[in-house]
Chain A
Amino acid sequence: MLDASEGHVTADGRKIGGVVMEMRNITLRFGGVVAIKDISFDIREGEIRAIIGPNGAGKSSMLNVISGFYNPQEGEVWYKGQKRPPMKPYQVAQQGIARTFQNIALFEGMSVLDNVMTGRIRQMKTGLLAQALWKGRAEAEEVANRAAVEKIIDFLEIQHIRKTPVSRLPYGLKKRVELARALAAEPSILLLDEPMAGMNVEEKEDMSRFILDVNDEFGTTTVLIEHDMGVVMDLSDRVVVMDYGKKIGDGTPEEVRSNQAVIDAYLGVAHD
Chain B
Amino acid sequence: MFYREAGDFKTSYVDDSQTFPIRVDRYGYYALLAVAFGVLPFLVNDYWVNAVLLPFLIYAIAAIGLNILVGYCGQVSLGTGGFMAVGAYACYKLMTGFPEINIFFHVILSGGITAAVCVLFGLPSLRIKGFYLAVATLAAQFFLVWLFNRVGWFYNYSASGQINAPERTVFGIAVTGAQNPPWAAYLFCLVFTVGCALIARNLTRGMAGRKWMAIRDMDIAAEIIGVNPLKAKLTAFAVSGFFVGIAGALFFSVYLGAIEVGEAFGINKSFLVLFMVIIGGLGSIFGSFAGAAFLVLLPVFLKNVLVGGLGWPTDLAAHLEFMIVGALILIFLIAEPHGLAQLWRVTKEKLRLWPFPH
Residues of A within 8 A of B (CB): 67-69, 88-90, 93-94, 98-99, 101, 105-110, 114, 117-122, 124, 126, 128, 131-134, 138-139, 142-143, 146-147, 150, 181-182, 185
Q: Out of B216, B220, B227, B235, which one reaches A121, CB within 8 Å? A: B227
Query: Nearest 9 CB-CB pairs, A to B?
Result: A93-B226, A105-B221, A107-B217, A134-B202, A121-B226, A146-B13, A143-B13, A131-B206, A132-B199
Residues of A within 8 A of B205 (CB): 134
Instruction: State whether A89 and B14 are in contact (beta carbons under 8 Å apart), knowing that A117-B210, A118-B211 are contacts in the complex.
Output: no
A165 to B29 Cα, complex, angstroms: 25
A94 to B231 Cα, complex, angstroms: 14
In the complex, the answer to whether B208 meets A131 with C-beta atoms within 8 Å is: yes
What secondary structure prevails in chain A residues at the interface with B? helix
Considering only CB atoms, which chain B residue lies closest to A150 in the complex?
B13
Say yes or no for B203: interface residue by CB 8 A criterion. yes
In the complex, the answer to whether B217 meets A119 with C-beta atoms within 8 Å is: no
A110 to B214 Cα, complex, angstroms: 8
Instruction: State whether A93 and B225 are in contact (beta carbons under 8 Å apart), knowing that A132-B203, A139-B14, A146-B13 are contacts in the complex.
Output: yes
Q: Out of B203, B214, B239, which one reaches A118, CB within 8 Å? A: B214
Residues of B within 8 A of A93 (CB): 224-226
Least distance between B295 CB and chain A CB atoms (Å):
24
In the complex, the answer to whether A105 meets B218 with C-beta atoms within 8 Å is: yes
* Chain B residues bordering chain A, tally (CB within 8 A): 32
Residues of B within 8 A of A122 (CB): 226
In the complex, the answer to whether B283 meets A109 with C-beta atoms within 8 Å is: yes
Say yes or no for B207: interface residue by CB 8 A criterion. yes
A101 to B211 Cα, complex, angstroms: 19
Instruction: State whether A142 and B206 are in contact (beta carbons under 8 Å apart), knowing that A89-B224, A90-B228, A98-B225 are contacts in the complex.
Output: yes
Q: CB-defined interface of B226-251 with A at 8 Å, one 1/0 digit per residue? A: 11110000010001000000000000
In the complex, the answer to whether B210 meets A128 with C-beta atoms within 8 Å is: no
Residues of A within 8 A of B220 (CB): 105
In the complex, the answer to whether B211 meets A146 with C-beta atoms within 8 Å is: no
Name 5 A/B residue pairs within 8 A (Cβ), A-sorted: A68-B224, A89-B224, A109-B283, A128-B208, A146-B13
Least distance between B27 CB and chain A CB atoms (Å):
20
Least distance between A144 CB and chain B CB atoms (Å):
9
Q: Out of A94, A132, A147, which one reaches B226, CB within 8 Å? A: A94
Say yes or no for B213: interface residue by CB 8 A criterion. yes
In the complex, the answer to whether B14 meets A131 with C-beta atoms within 8 Å is: no
Residues of B within 8 A of A106 (CB): 217-218, 221
Residues of A within 8 A of B229 (CB): 90
Instruction: State whether A109 and B213 are in contact (beta carbons under 8 Å apart), knowing that A90-B223, A90-B227, A128-B208 are contacts in the complex.
Output: yes
Say yes or no for B22: interface residue by CB 8 A criterion. no
Least distance between B339 CB and chain A CB atoms (Å):
14
A3 to B204 Cα, complex, angstroms: 51
Can you name 7 extra interface pairs (CB under 8 A) apart from A142-B13, A182-B225? Answer: A107-B218, A109-B213, A110-B210, A119-B225, A132-B202, A139-B17, A143-B17
Q: Out of B206, B223, B225, B235, which one reaches A138, CB within 8 Å? A: B206
Say yes or no for B222: interface residue by CB 8 A criterion. yes
Instruction: State whether A107 and B223 are in contact (beta carbons under 8 Å apart), knowing that A124-B207, A142-B13 are contacts in the complex.
Output: no
In the complex, the answer to whether A126 meets B207 with C-beta atoms within 8 Å is: yes
Q: CB-defined interface of B184-211 with A at 8 Å, one 1/0 digit per residue? A: 0000000000000001001101111011
In the complex, the answer to whether A138 meets B211 with C-beta atoms within 8 Å is: no
A147 to B221 Cα, complex, angstroms: 24
Least distance between B18 CB and chain A CB atoms (Å):
10
Instruction: State whether A109 and B13 are in contact (beta carbons under 8 Å apart), knowing that A93-B226, A122-B226, A185-B225 are contacts in the complex.
Output: no
Residues of B within 8 A of A142 (CB): 13, 17, 206-207
Q: Out of B12, B14, B211, B216, which one reaches A109, CB within 8 Å? A: B216
A191 to B227 Cα, complex, angstroms: 17
In the complex, the answer to whether B210 meets A118 with C-beta atoms within 8 Å is: yes
A68 to B223 Cα, complex, angstroms: 10
